[in-house]
Amino acid sequence: MSRDIRSFFQPKKIQKAKVEEHDDDIIPESPDVQIKNKKKESRKKRVLSDSDEEIFDSKKKKSTAEPPKSKTKTPSKPVLKEVKAVDIFGSAPIKRTEPIVKKVKEKKKTETGIHSDDEFDKSLLELDEVEELALNSELPSTSSKAADVPKNDVKTKIEKEKSPIKIKENKPDKTKDIKNEIKQEKSPTKVKDKEIKEQDKSKSVKFESKSKNSSKMNDKKRKFAEFIENETNHEAEKTDEDTNVKKKKLNDSITDSHNIINKEKKLKKESSNELDDSNNTIIDDEMNETKHGGSRKKMNKSLNESVLTDEERHERKMHSAALYKNYLNRSGPKHLGAKEIPEGAPGCLKDCAFLLTGVLDSFEREEVTEAITKYGGCIKSGISKKVTHVLAGEEAGPAKMAKAQELGIPIINEDDFIQMIRDSTNKKSKEKEMKKEKSPSRKPINNKKEVNGVSKKTNSDTTNTKKSQEDKTKHEKTNGFGSKVKKSKSPEKVETVVKKEIKIESEKVKKDNLISEGKPDSSKNSTGPMHMMWVDKYKPQNLKQIIGQHGDASNVKKLSNWLTKWYVNRKAKLPKPSPWAKNDDGGYYKAALLSGPPGVGKTTTVALVCKELGFDMVEFNASDTRSKTLIKEQISELLNTTSLSAYSKGDTGKQAVTKKHVLVMDEVDGMAGNEDRGGLQELISLIKATAVPIVCMCNDRNSQKMRSLVNYCYDLRFTRPRVDQIKSAMMSICFKEGLKIPPDAISQLIVAANQDVRQTLHLLSMWAAEPDTDPDKLRKDATSVRKDVKLGPWEAIRKVFSAENHKTMSINDKSDLFFYDYSLAPLFVYENYLQVAPHCPKNEILDRMSKAADSISRGDLVDARIRRSQAWGLLPMQAMYSSVIPGHHLSGHVAGQIQFPGWLGKNSRASKMQRLCQEIHAHTRLSTSGSKSSIFLDYSSHLRDAIVNPLVKDRSDGIAKAMEVLESYHLLRDDLDSLTELSLWPGQRNPMVLIDSKVKAAMTRTYNKTATALPYAPAAVKKGRTRDDADEEGLDDEPEDETEDSDPENDALIKKKKSKEDKPASKEKPSSSKEKPSTSKTKAGSSKEKKKK
Amino acid sequence: MSDDDVTIMEVDEAVPKPTKSTAKPAKSTAHLPWIEKYRPQVFTDIVGNEDTVSRLAVFARTGNAPNIIIAGPPGVGKTTTILCLARALLGASFKDAVLELNASNDRGIDVVRNKIKMFAQQKVTLPAGRHKIVILDEADSMTEGAQQALRRTMELYSSTTRFALAANNSEKIIEPIQSRCAVLRYSRLTDAQILAKVIEVCEKEQLSYTEEGVSAVVFTAQGDLRAALNNLQATAQGFGHVSPEHVFRVCDEPHPMLVRSMLDACVKQDIHAAYKIIAKLCKLGYATEDIVSNIFRVCKTLDAPEDTRLALIREIGLTHMRVADGLSSPLQLAGLLARMCRAAAARDTHW
């Protein structure tokens, strides 16, 4: 983190120095001269940038730098705050989003080239406008609220900052002096002054406009002017930029053909960089101090709090538990529908962040959420500085309220909220005032933006950061100086200058585009972008573009780590990690399993990781047959081959031949049906023996099919990206496609597509077919495209009892809930209906419960008829009885966890008991007279005791006695287990536990030794357990043998004695299953003997 | 027309359709079912769901349509839309570049892996922005395995082949497939839309019709244009004139309006009025089971508070069970009426 911040400060100083230089150039001379200079500079640039990379860089600068500039410009003070945010919250999330934006922008110019430059400029202007508006509203507020604490902070910070700036400036100047490139040998202070003046000019423009409270037209002009100003600055900076370019080159370690001068400059720059570094660190420290000034107090507090006694903690726990209980039991809105959320002006809640807590009086939470997002606001789940309003209802969370008060966030109620929307509509002219009021709330948001912008820049170009920082410094200064008189040219002049500059710039951009298009673009397909689906067109081209996969702990990182280390890990014998180990790098596993919902980028991730690491991807997916034989023969052979694929890409030499394969088994959950029989098992054995990494992909890793595979795979789970992550990417695509869609419509679309990036793109491309439809319709569309995902029974049951859902559902919709799974739904309802907290007066609850129960019982009657007489026409009726009517009576919410129907488990247990009972009944039939139920009720416990008690009391001496009982009742050893199971009632102790395990083992042994003759075929009994193992052929024959045996039973016994005497070996027939062959042997033997006789 | 229809059904000779469609009435089309005879050939003829259709029309012009799933109830024009799109996109090469499979074709996992994949790999020379189209009608009847096998094929060959799926029930299409498509939802046609179309057909066929007769056709259709046209044709061929009696005689079921008024009477606890209707229905010879299930269906959409409706449904269910057990005497129906009246009355007091 600290690193990031530093890196982001470094450029700042450099920038400043540059700015100053510019100013030097600009101010003393007439605007015309300026322009000339700029032109020259631009030309220079072009000359300089003869290598492709340079052009690219410069392009980047222009394209990327400008929009961020405008962004950064708008928020006036917040430099300090930005830093704060970064310090406090960390830059990780920011990092993630940035690269996407960057690349997208790059793409715009390089890839598509669809838009003319004018369009681009226009759109930029529009962007500026938007931000301008925000600015306008903000600035007055800040000035008016001079007394505000944050403002003071800001001021102090600014002051502090100033001093470091001086230092910075001095040093860069020196470096430049050395260069002799730019001849400004004025003292740094002077430079500063001039800068400030210039900035003042620009600001004054803003201020003027504000004071006039002018119409939108004026605003636009102003924005334009500002935009232009920025550009002029940029242009002036170009000389600086040149140096920047060099720096970049240094960073990139690209040694291209450059002028000697350039090289020299580089060297100089390096030194200057060093200097800057030191400066930066100093500044950083300062900044940090100022930032943390406020936060430290909090830190202390939290520290104090953390030193709690155990008792206190316990109390807290209890308290929070009670709160949670309340939360679960809390009722719905009391006067639902009493009020209506008024129609507001679109975007009237823009830049407001709400936190909802408690139960509102007359709205469901969803309604309010919807309204807020509709009007451009956003909703936070936790309280933080970003929250601008806390919308509190009844039973609001005390913790949230306390914190809100602490942070000074206005707490509003429902009526205030409605008023907020209404005000926006009543007087549009008042809007600005409204915004002013809201401005404190807006600050944080702006900060956020800036933070994003800043970090983006740090990551991407140094120039960007510089520019943004320039802007910031400007703001600071203006703020610090207050309203200084602007001595300078009139805004019009600036405008003209700017226009010219824009032209120049646009020309450049065009040229750049041309160049880039001229290059062979490997990423493009031969089909050309126009005829590709958006999904393919905007497919991530490298790892950083994958949405939601940035951080160090992301799946992309994990996967590439795993792949790179794969061969190393195979040599090192690693232990199997425990399944709970958190930061496992999967070294043990030979295969990885990527699982996650569709459309989050699993396949893309694998493809890109392979590409980046130089692995050759061998893909098999569900459209290939993947049966056992195919996997065994074809795939495993494939993996031992050498890939020549690099030749086709034009590589020659050693690298072209690679043995680095990855076997990608896509959609392993799609291995189904007859064709793929045995495929999974074979895949697992392939994994065990593989010499190459294997990557498997599936949607649901918890499904039954995957269960065996999961144990052999490094588990990488993909989750759906957050809405805003997708949104930013989608916005940039829309922008590229020239599609204007309100942001909230996009987020609705994303939610409707279930955060599925691919589908969102598909839907957007549908919208793009008819671009200019009105936003309201788009919003409506967005919600209607909702993907139909089959509800699981759990969600369905929640809906059955949910009062909110009932409002919008017809009876038919409700009965559809039943039909999601008509065999399970009634059971679910029955299992859970008592857990529902109906929204009704307490004295009615019992009545409603009884009605629901009555209806459920009727449903059961209908069900019985349906199953008995196959009267499926009654099914809709059952839907009514079993689901709709109970749901109607108990309309409320499920207060507890939804239980899986216990009936299923109990039913299967009951049928198992039946079977056991049946078995024992059959076995003991010769010696008992009771029916099956009497065996169960009367015999079982006594039989068990008769066998078990001797074993418990006399231990191994009791074995004989136990065996005697077993024998006399013709019971098998297994029957003992089933007997204990049968006779064990809930709450009783299993008597088998009392038997010493040695005794038990001894008994089993003796049982096996004494092959008792049975009056029935034990094979039939054992079928259940040993069917798989026993050789099938034998099974058919055995029963016949046995039945034959049973007749000559006595003969066999007699013969046995003889055989015992003759051959003791025949005695040792270990298991009952071997008994049969042995008896046949004895038979054979006896027959021989007979013959002898 | 006949040619057109043939093309629709068998996927050949796609081009001449739009031109011929104007010449439809001239040809001898008596042997064609009207649903085929009047199946729209161009986007502008498609009734209902204008938003989606117009969007698709844009794609038909510009090409490069994404994969689509059209989901909606039967008879709203899903297949027609897809065929129109394919025809507009591909024109003369319709025959070569379209693979149409519906539930009557074998669409097991092996067909997907062989036939569809092979088709996707085929090279067909098409103008820029045009792609081969695989039409999978009634995609919800494909097995999950077959759908799984389709997944990657859809993606890998997207540069040459696009998929158009039609389904009644988009839940039965697995999520990964939905993710790869733009899902378009068709809603039921409004009565006005169907009415307009039905009258148009009547005029083209030079049928004599009464206002009520046509609206009876619309009523029986329940938002299904195909059903409306079928019923209309049946009525026209049976009686030559479209009047309500004829329509309901052809589409034999207890008239829902009667049932509705009976239920209204029950809600008002007017058992005499209600019984008169039931007696009439019985006398007309409807099976008790049909009557009861009709009552049930109508009751779900009755214009009454939900409590009342559910209370009535409770009673209907009981009778339905008995009828299913074989107790299908009019007495049961009378009993049902009585209980329904009581339930409505009880509801007034404490439900």
Q: In the beta sheet, which residues pair with residue B183?
A: B69
Neighbours of A620 (CB within 10 A): 23
Q: Where are the domains of chain A?
A: 29-217+272-317, 549-715, 723-787, 793-900, 912-1092
Cα separation, A494 vs A227, whole angstroms: 10
Q: Which residue, among B43, B64, B107, B170, would best test binding to A if mutated, counting the most A CBs under 10 Å from its CB?
A: B64
Of B121 and A577, more confident: B121
Could you report the per-residue pLDDT of A965-996, keeping only the tens digit for each? 888 888 888 888 888 888 888 888 888 888 88
Task: Give me the pLDDT at residue A789, please.
Answer: 59
Q: Which residue, among A526, A531, A726, would best test binding to B if mutated, counting the most B CBs under 10 Å from its CB?
A: A531
Contact between A643 and A657 (Cβ < 8 Å): yes
CB contact under 8 A, B317 and A532: no
Q: Is A793-900 CATH 1.20.272.10? A: yes
If you average pLDDT over every residue of chain A, what do you get?
64
Task: Give me the pLDDT at residue A8, please.
Answer: 54
Could you report the per-residue pLDDT of B248-296, keeping only the tens digit for each? 777 766 777 788 889 999 888 889 999 998 898 888 888 888 889 889 9
CA nearest neighbour of A142 among A410, A437, A428: A437
CB contact under 8 A, A888 and B58: no
Question: How big is the A-B interface in CB pairs under 8 Å?
Answer: 182
CB contact under 8 A, B64 and A525: no
Q: Answer yes or no: same fold for A549-715 and A723-787.
A: no
CA nearest neighbour of A804 among A363, A393, A373: A363
Cα separation, A86 vs B52, whole angstroms: 46
- By CA distance, what is B54's nearest residue in A? A770
Edge-to-edge order in the sheet of strand A411-412 = A378-380, A353-357, A389-392, A411-412
Nearest to B145 among A673, A770, A874 (CB): A673
Task: Give me the pLDDT at residue A123, please.
Answer: 52
Burial pattern B224-254, b for ≥16 Cβ within 10 A else e, equals bbbbbbbbbbbbbeebeebbbebbbebbeeb
CB contact under 8 A, A877 and B321: yes
Task: Give me the pLDDT at residue A855, please.
Answer: 93
Quote the percentage of chain B above a pLDDT of 90: 8
Task: Give me the pLDDT at residue A524, please.
Answer: 36
Chain A residues closer than 8 Å to B300 by CB = 810-812, 815
Q: Which residue, among B53, B117, B152, would best test binding to A if mutated, counting the most A CBs under 10 Å from its CB?
A: B152
Q: Which residue, among B50, B81, B109, B115, would best test binding to A if mutated, counting the most A CBs under 10 Å from its CB?
A: B109
Task: Give me the pLDDT at residue A425, please.
Answer: 61
Could you report the per-residue pLDDT of B17-43, keeping only the tens digit for each? 333 333 344 445 567 888 888 888 888
Task: Give me the pLDDT at residue A755, please.
Answer: 82
Chain B residues closer than 8 Å to A826 by CB = none
Task: Give me the pLDDT at residue B28, please.
Answer: 53
- By CA distance, what is A768's nearest residue in B? B55
- Kindly report the nearest CA distance between residue B346 and chain A, in angstroms: 14
Task: Give me the pLDDT at residue A448, please.
Answer: 42
Task: Give me the pLDDT at residue A1085, please.
Answer: 40
Chain B residues closer than 8 Å to A766 by CB = 55, 66, 68, 182, 184
Task: Give me the pLDDT at residue A288, please.
Answer: 46
The DSSP H or E segment spanning A372 is helix A365-374
Alpha helices in A802-896 (DSSP H): 803-808, 811-819, 825-832, 842-869, 875-879, 885-889
Chain A residues closer than 8 Å to B69 by CB = none
**The dihedral sign for the CA sequence A678, A679, A680, A684:** positive
- Kindly report the nearest CA distance between residue B257 and chain A, in angstroms: 19
- Kindly report the nearest CA distance between residue B52 and chain A, in angstroms: 9
CB contact under 8 A, B117 and A673: no
CB contact under 8 A, B64 and A597: no
Chain A residues closer than 8 Å to B71 by CB = 788
Contact between A770 and B57 (Cβ < 8 Å): no
Of A263 and B173, more confident: B173
CB contact under 8 A, B152 and A530: no
- Kindly report the nearest CA distance between residue B258 and chain A, in angstroms: 21
Q: Which residue, among A698, A766, A844, A884, would best test binding to B if mutated, counting the most B CBs under 10 Å from its CB?
A: A766
CB contact under 8 A, A623 and B320: no
Cα separation, A875 vs B177, whole angstroms: 30
Rg (CA), chain B: 24
Phi, psi of A581 (to 5 degrees): -60, 130
Task: Give me the pLDDT at residue A316, please.
Answer: 74
Chain A residues closer than 8 Å to B178 by CB = 598, 759, 787-789
Q: What is the DSSP letter of B38?
A: T
| Residue B133: pLDDT over 80 | yes
Chain B residues closer than 8 Å to A796 by CB = none
Chain B residues closer than 8 Å to A699 by CB = 175-176
Q: Which residue, among B49, B52, B140, B310, would best test binding to A if mutated, counting the most A CBs under 10 Å from its CB?
A: B310
Cα separation, B145 vs B177, whole angstroms: 12
Task: Give me the pLDDT at residue A336, please.
Answer: 56
CB contact under 8 A, A533 and B309: no
Tokens 């779900």 belong to B300
Task: Give me the pLDDT at residue B66, please.
Answer: 86
- Kindly report the nearest CA distance between residue B178 and chain A, in angstroms: 7
CA nearest neighbour of B47 among B204, B197, B183, B202: B197
Q: Predicted confidence band at B319 (pLDDT cuts at 50, 70, 90)?
A: very high
- By CA distance, what is A855's nearest residue in B? B314
Cα separation, A8 vs A455, whole angstroms: 7
The DSSP H or E segment spanning A714 is strand A713-717
Helices and strands per DSSP (H, E), number in chain B: 19, 7
CB contact under 8 A, A811 and B129: no
Chain A residues closer than 8 Å to B109 by CB = 672-673, 675
- The residue-averaged pLDDT of B137-148 equals 86
Nearest to B317 among A530, A812, A881 (CB): A881
Tokens 């759906």 belong to A720
CB contact under 8 A, B144 and A672: yes
Task: Give me the pLDDT at residue A461, please.
Answer: 43
CB contact under 8 A, B185 and A858: no
- Kindly report the nearest CA distance between residue B179 and chain A, in angstroms: 5
Q: Which residue, among A525, A530, A533, would best test binding to B if mutated, counting the most B CBs under 10 Å from its CB?
A: A533
Phi, psi of A579 (to 5 degrees): -65, -15
Burial pattern A442-469, b for ≥16 Cβ within 10 A else e, equals bbbbbbbbbbbbbbbbbbbbbbbbbbbb
Chain B residues closer than 8 Å to A598 by CB = 175-176, 178-180
Chain B residues closer than 8 Å to A871 by CB = 324
User: For chain A, which ranges sit under pLDDT 50?
Assistant: 1-2, 11-117, 134-135, 137-196, 200, 202-217, 228, 232, 235-239, 241-243, 245-264, 267-268, 271-272, 274-307, 428-528, 1020-1093
Name the CATH architecture for the domain at A723-787.
Orthogonal Bundle (1.10)
- Kindly report the nearest CA distance between residue B295 and chain A, in angstroms: 12
Nearest to B55 among A770, A858, A880 (CB): A770
- By CA distance, what is A784's nearest residue in B? B185
Task: Give me the pLDDT at residue A901, please.
Answer: 86
Fold of the CATH domain A549-715: Rossmann fold (3.40.50)
